[in-house]
Structure 1
């Protein structure tokens, strides 16, 4: 069950999905930036250096530039 996975693992999935989305891979064709944002936000966890917050900012920027394709 994905929801029972660790926050680090779930956040990693969001990062991987974002990379595939930017490359316009078929695997993420039905996976929008909103879903990536949802997963990353729910799995943010501890963020002492702000890297995860910065990632969320990048997803928001990509979504604004490329729409939710």
Structure 2
């Protein structure tokens, strides 16, 4: 939750301090980091299990098309 400051206190802050107190973009950054971590975990799992994605998708495609 963003910090609440009174207008009198906010007036006394330097522009750098106001920028540091602003936490509005923190949630988007956290979601981006979480997505990157999940993607990395998926890639590591596929590599360690030896799953070849192209073979997997070709197999699914072939079974759907009836070949």
Whether the TM-score (by the shorter chain) exceeds 0.5 is no
| TM-score, normalised with respect to structure 1 | 0.30
Structure with larger Rg: 2
Structure scoring higher RCO (CA < 8 A, sep ≥ 6) equals: 1
| TM-score, normalised with respect to structure 2 | 0.31
Q: Which has the higher helix share?
A: 2
